[in-house]
Structure 1
Amino acid sequence: MTTPLRIGFIPLVDAAALIVAVDKGFAATEGLDVTLVREVSWSNVRDKLNIGLFDAAHLLAPVAIASSLGLGHVRVPIAAPFNLGLNGNAITVSPALYAALMEEIDGDRFEPLATARALARVVAKRKRSGADPLTFGMTFPFSTHNYQLRFWMAAGGVDPDEDVQLVVLPPPYMVDSLANGHIDAFCVGAPWNSIAVDLGIGHILHFVADILLSAVEKVLAVRQNWSEKHPDVVTALVRAHLRAAEFIEEPANRPEVTRILAEPERIGVDASVIQRTLDGRLKISSDGTMRDSRRYLLVGREGAARPDPVQAAWLYAQMVRWGQTPYRPDALKAAMAVFRPDLYDAAAGPSATVASAVGAFAGPPFDPNDVLGHLAAFRIGRWQP
């Protein structure tokens, strides 16, 4: 007896565990007959999960929280028993903006505080000359990309709501928008940063691991009431994804993994681009400059797959900081309850390996018990004490 499931995903490398769990047969071994449905936008994925067209989904971690709190849409409580990836995003800028930043930079070009301050000088110069504001693409208002861009900019003195424009674009549309000059930069997940570099239209300025040491990115999401009705299916899903994550993280399996992910109905880009992403060795400039980071994207190693409510608290704090919701202790508690390490542990067993703390490059260490103190440490924001 098998359980049929429909699961939605966006063509991104951090859907790897989901895709491999299905295409390598790990889900079938657990008695799951999964149909993967490729989508273009996060709103499509969210809406189809919320109304029951999808049983589970590859979902932005902040969307799971926003849905559970009823922010920006109807309230549908979500449970996230598995992290599909930590980190994996990057900020890519046009060659023109990169040149402008390098003219203004004072310090190491790989240090986010140095580039953020350079951005502030570029913004000020453009204002004096009467030029239009710079436009940055991100994938959704309730997205890690939005918060990571804002956190980086604000640390250098740039107000993301006053000094630049932030626009929402689906991940697969980022590259064309940069090529057409509709945007000056974007923050998105792999492989789209690398695609822009390979086409000669973008320069990867920062990996998100430069900004946050450990940032939950996508989760395997199910509706909370569905998880309560189907606990055995949730356990089977987690087990299948654990096997997939372990398979992906084994370097000897990478050629097979990249072939699977490169298929047109999956991510649909050249396998070599996916290989570079999983290996953490990315070309950051069209001149061939390479950069290595073992923390570029973590799928299963270092405890990355286990949901951490502290990460949910940090995301909720960003929603408050940028005026998407007022601070409420009960809402913080509800946000943290979206991430379900208990469901993960029920399938995987207790783990001694725990993912690193958030580790932001600016501000004090994050304490989920003092969100207001965290917010008070930053000069730029939209929250009201």
Structure 2
Amino acid sequence: MILMQPNTVIQNAEPIRIGFIPLIDCAPFVIAHEKGFFLQEGVDVVLSKEASWASIRDKVTFNLLDGAHMLASMPIAASLGIGTIKTSMETSFTVSHNGNGITIGNELYKQLQRFAVSSADIRSGAALKKLIESRGKGTAPLRFAMVYPYSSHNYQLRDWLSRAGIDSDNDVQIVVVPPVKMVDSLRQGDIDGYCVGEPWNSLAVEQGVGHMLVTGFEIWGSTPEKVFGVNSTWAEQNRGSYLAVIRALEQACKWVDNPANQTELLNILSQSDYLNCTVEQLVYGFGSVKPKGQFDWPMDAYQRFSGSDINKPLPSYALWIMAQMHRWHQLDHVTSLNDLAEQVYRKDLFYEALGLAQRNQASEWRLSAKEESTWLSSVASGKIRLHPEGILKGFDRFE
């Protein structure tokens, strides 16, 4: 590991190009840049605002970006060659947990009330199941949106539908819509509902466009949402710079989670170079203001950027995501689940970057030979489930 004094730039190093999507959870990258945490660690970082997750993926693949603010599942999909050219990617730092929710439009909510005994029937999807069964053959299916096919939003939406007995492949239509267009698409009737990160659920409620039903936390518990993903070739060739960026992001995550910094944080994020919106539109994503709506988000459901092992890149999450890919027909087989998880989620580099003592990583997450042979099918069939409190608590097994 390369040790440096503050403000000492790594010699002969090119600027590090990091892409981001203008969402609330890009905050650690923005703050590390604006507050000088990158420079304090000796690295010159150039942030690049990108239009889509596909753009992020492709630019890291072809070395137009060295790394990026990524969906936690993206380095896994890229390394497996699912939906893209097979490219070795990895993460050594989890940026955030949670923040997703499912919201439906006013018209669908009105229809669901006819099939619901209580609000619980609407939130659970039970009323939606009855509505779908009542619709005549030849009726256009209800349309739900998510942000990217290989994302927690897609998998959480499908999981929620499945728990209500709804076939997400045949009973509804699921489409991709960029997060910033979700509320307008709902308002215009182009979609009936969506799964997206904050603040787009709260804003739909606040603007009278839709109704929040359930949070991602209530579906999966606390799970990674965004990571710092990089091209593995770049990581290998620029080890010192890579570890320095991790240290800077760790500082930034703590800064973002400090309530005393929230006013400054929102003012920075609202700038045109970043989210290009009003401060009022951002307050919901951090839990400081509650939307006027049907229910309050549980505090644990808001985005978390630090504390309680939040920033550790957990290979167990890679195992969970690969099982979701298998469940939803995106992945047939992986030769070695353990090896792939360890290759993509580099907890060893996280420890090295932060100067933490190495732990016995194998005992924390590796599957036994027997578990590895049945893991994908066991998760898909419900024999293995994520702990109700999330990935940090592990898995529950059922016979």
* TM norm. shorter chain > 0.5: yes
Q: CA deviation at 1:290?
A: 4.2
1:234-383 superposed matches below 5 A:
234-279=242-287, 282-283=290-291, 285=293, 290-331=296-337, 333-350=339-356, 370-377=375-382
2:235 matched to which residue of 1?
227
Name the CA distance, whole Å, in 2 between partners of 1:284 and 1:314.
Answer: 35
Deviations 1:78-137 (Å, cap 9, x if unpaired)?
11011111111111110122233343335563x89x522222112112246x53211001
State whether residues 322 and 376 of structure 2, in contact with CA within 8 Å, keep that contact through their aligned partners in structure 1: no
- On the 8 A contact 2:218/2:301 being kept in 1, the answer is no
Specify the SS of the correspondent of 2:114: helix
Q: Deviations over 1:13-37 (max 9, x none)?
A: 1111111111111111112222211
Cα 1:68–1:336 change in 2 (3 A) is same
Pair 1:83-2:89 in alignment: no
Q: Report the AA paired with residue 163 of structure 2.
A: A
Question: What is the identity, as a one-letter code, of the residue corresponding to 1:116?
Answer: G
CA distance in 2 between counterparts of 1:92 and 1:206 reads 8
Moved more, 297-306 or 239-248: 297-306
Q: CA separation in 2, counterparts of 1:151 and 1:352?
A: 35
Q: Distance in 1 between matches of 2:335 and 2:95?
A: 28
Looking at structure 1, the residues matched to 381 and 289 of structure 2 have their Cα atoms a distance apart, in angstroms, of 37
Question: CA contact under 8 A between 2:203 and 2:291: conserved in structure 1?
Answer: no
> Could you say if the C-alpha distance between residues 377 and 173 of structure 1 is closer, same or farther in structure 2, counting changes exceeding 3 Å?
same
Could you tell me how far 1:76 is from its partner in structure 2? 0.6
Gaps of 5+ in 1: 354-366, 379-385
Tell me, in whole angstroms, the C-alpha distance in 2 between the residues paired with 1:337 and 1:99: 48
Partner of 2:363 in structure 1?
none
Counterpart of 1:9 (choices 5, 20, 44) is 20
Give, as a single letter, the amino acid of the residue that structure 1 aligns with 2:99.
G
Q: Distance in 2 between matches of 1:336 and 1:321?
A: 21
Q: Which residue matches 1:52?
A: 63
d(CA) in 2 for partners of 1:333, 1:79: 13
Alpha-carbon distance, 1:291 to partner: 3.7
Aligned-residue Cα RMSD (Å) equals: 2.3
Alignment CA distance shift 1:120-1:93 (3 Å)? same
Distance 2:73 2:348 in 1: 20
Q: Given residue 343 of structure 1, which amino acid in structure 2 is its aligned partner?
A: L
Structure showing greater radius of gyration is 2
Structure 2 CA distance for aligned equivalents of residues 293 and 333 of structure 1? 35
2:184 corresponds to: 176
For the structure 1 residues 284 and 153, does the alpha-carbon distance in structure 2 shift closer, same or farther, using more than 3 Å as the test?
farther
Question: 1:97, 1:79 → 2: CA distance?
Answer: 40
Q: Aligned match of 1:123 in 132, 135, 145?
A: 132
Inter-partner Cα distance in structure 2 for 1:48 and 1:24: 26
Deviation of 1:280 after TM superposition, in Å, equals 6.3
Residues 102 and 350 of structure 1, relative CA distance in 2, 3 Å threshold: farther
Distance in 1, Cα, partners of 2:23 & 2:251? 19
2 CA distance for matches of 1:127 and 1:348?
Answer: 59
Instruction: Give the secondary structure class of the aligned counterpart of 1:301.
Output: coil
Once residues 102 and 195 of structure 1 are traced to their aligned partners in structure 2, the CA distance between those partners, rounded to angstroms, is: 22
Q: Does the alignment pair 1:200 with 2:208?
A: yes
1:373 deviates by 1.9
Corresponding residue for 1:43?
A: 54
Residue in 1 that maps onto 2:141: 133
- Which of 14, 27, 32 is the matching residue for 1:21? 32
Supply the AA of the counterpart residue of 2:285: T
SS at match of 2:124: helix
- The residue type equivalent to 1:97 in the other structure is L
Matches within 5 A, 1:154-193: 154-193=162-201
Any conservation in 1 of the 2:217–2:300 contact (CA below 8 Å)?
no
Q: Is 1:280–1:296's contact at 8 Å kept on the other side of the alignment?
A: no
Structure 1 residue 284: Cα displacement: 5.9
Matching residue's letter, 1:250: N
User: 2: CA distance between counterparts of 1:351 and 1:374?
Assistant: 32
Once residues 222 and 277 of structure 1 are traced to their aligned partners in structure 2, the CA distance between those partners, rounded to angstroms, is 26
> 1:351 Cα deviation (Å)?
7.8
Partners of 1:280 and 1:115 in 2: how far apart?
26
| 5+ residue gaps, structure 2 | 1-8, 360-370, 384-399
**Equivalent AA in structure 2 for residue 138 of structure 1:** M
Q: Is the contact made by 1:194 and 1:273 (CA closer than 8 Å) also made in structure 2?
A: no
